[in-house]
Structure 1
Amino acid sequence: MTLPPGFDLDGFVQRTLAEDLGQGGDVTSAATIAEEARFTAVMDSREEIVIAGLEIAAAFFRKLDPQVDLAAMAADGDRVPAGADLMRLSGAARAMLTAERSALNTLQHLSGIATFTRRYIDAIAGTGAVLLDTRKTTPGLRILEKYAARMGGAQNHRMRLDDGVLIKDNHVAVCGGVAEAVGRAKAANTGLQVQVEVDRIDQIEPALAAGADRLLLDNMPVPVLCEAVALVAGRVPLEASGGVNLDTIRGIAETGVDFISVGRITQSAPAVDIGLDYALT
């Protein structure tokens, strides 16, 4: 598993466990489980999923029991059927039960994003269009959610506001027009490509004349997207965005756009069902 540079795995694990432990710790496990008890378990998928975050889940168990015996049975990015074993573990029972929910919450959420993303990837297979994620992520979890989108097959768009110049409709409104906004962005000499959002055909030529490096075609119906693709004729890459779902993405991809950005894959992905069950040795 390769997480983006700058992701603090240990810090994430500590913060997540602290949120769950509170001031008193796992009072249930402390009250019911003998200190020397061992816990052997199998983590498995209860539906077909694409995995993301398996090693992050493992980090929770290792944090509370550095001697835990862990064996991963799959890897991030794998598509596995219902009933597939993902991980086997054996360690101190109190520690394993304390870490269980944090580990599962993380893995279920990230695998949910990867699984949902793969459905979009499958829907546009063979079209040549590339699926992009967006900045529509859970505050504080962007690095992980975008990682999960990659595991599902998408490419990451901007990670942060300093990753690229993307002129949206409100920028255009404040500047007084597409050409004015693009001109100012080019004059700023950021060293970054300038992408501009257009929602009408008549904005395309002014944007290109002002030096736009890429166009985001926002909320355009399929016939208008086809017109835009023909008009641009390969001069710059085109990205379609807005109102994209599993029912519409194939038709959008077949217009010939280069990219399709979908906020839903991180914003609306349901968690998947993954369990951790005691196993007799």
Structure 2
Amino acid sequence: MIPAQFDYVAPATVDDAVRELADAGDDGKVIAGGQSLLPVLRMRLAAPAKLIDVGRIPELRGVREDGDAIVIGAMTTHYDVQRDPLVREHALLIAAATDTVADPQIRHRGTFGGSLAHADPGGDLLAPALAMDAVMVVAGMDGRRSVPASEFFVDYFTTSLAPSELLVEVRIPKLTGWRAHYEKFNRVAQAWSIVAVAATVRTEGGTIAEARVGLTNMAPTPVRARAVEEALVGQAATAENIKAAAAHAANDTNPTSDGNADGEYRSHLARVLTGRALTAAIG
């Protein structure tokens, strides 16, 4: 199908983009890499009157270090995130999850911030961002504000962004030296996750000192597997302890049933994949 008619603007600064969004109101839509938005427009599941293209704003691209955090610009492509040495050193879980996003063509065009703002529950970057306690920096007419990942994702394809707000960058606390793995289950290559697990751990002398586990597609928003984390901390990094902790992966989750899997099967997958992810992360 052909998208409905719309006006197109390409602001050069964040402030200009925010003003365009405010002027458009509910009829405006931000386009980043376009890998999620363009199919929606073509199917006319959305028909904005104005598209605000933020691809020409230099401030929104790149990865930098800022004290105890790394900062990823919202328009940084998946390809660049994959290969950035700061991400590999301080946020290995983000790099591991980005490696699984779609295919090389989409990773060259799709953007880190665009994926997070799209908030697809099957998206591969939401759970890692949540597990790493990422903070979203958002610009609006009243200035900028910081939103923890735990508050940013609200519901299916819904975030706490107001219609006139723009995701500018994502701040990720450094987890230097932590091991990580992203375990994804999908029907075919490059497909959305039916269930996936983002796991990152820090060990000391064979003991699990800290653990973070996020679940993809186990609820309308990404969730932390808190029961798994609590069961791991202070335990020896053995296969038996990992298996016992992974048994709690589906606790307090609300997986949906659809054409790919029912809720019970998703809960089973969460437990199995959590065990695999932790085993791979701990090595």
Whichever of the two has the greater Rg, that structure is 1
Higher helix share: 1
Q: Taking CA–CA contacts closer than 8 Å with sequence separation of 6 or more, which of the two structures ends up with the larger relative contact order?
A: 1
User: TM-score, normalising length from structure 2?
Assistant: 0.26
